[in-house]
Amino acid sequence: MRNNDIILGFDDEKDEHLSIQLERISELPKCILINLKGHADRDNYDFFREQLIKVIRSGFKWLIIGCADFEIHNDIVTFDVILQPVMQNKGGVVLIGIQQSLNWYLEHSFGGMFLGRKNDKNEALEFLRRKSENPVHFPMDFDCPRCGRRTKAKTVGAHLCYGCKTILLIDGWGDVSITQSKNEGLLGELPLAEDDASTES
> In the chain, what are the domain boundaries?
3-133, 140-184
pLDDT at 183: 47
pLDDT at 137: 77
Find residue 177's DSSP bridge partners: 169
Q: Which CATH superfamily is domain 3-133 in?
A: STAS domain (3.30.750.24)
Q: What is the pTM of this model?
A: 0.75
> Cα dihedral angle (36, 37, 39, 42), rounded to 10 degrees?
-50
Query: pLDDT category, 189, cuts 50, 70, 90?
Result: very low
pLDDT at 58: 96
Weakest-pLDDT range from 93-97, 112-116, 152-156, 177-181:
177-181
Show the CA angle centred on residue 21, arms to residues 65 and 42, nearest 5°: 70
Query: pLDDT category, 110, cuts 50, 70, 90?
Result: low
Query: How does the average pLDDT of the chain come out, rounded?
Result: 83
Query: pLDDT category, 180, cuts 50, 70, 90?
Result: low
CA distances from 39 to 67, 69, 104, 157, 160 (A): 10, 8, 15, 29, 37
Q: Does the pLDDT of residue 109 top 90, yes or no?
A: no
Domains 3-133 and 140-184 share a fold: no
CA distances from 25 to 12, 58, 70, 87, 128 (A): 22, 14, 21, 19, 11
Quickly name the fold that domain 140-184 has.
Rubrerythrin, domain 2 (2.20.28)
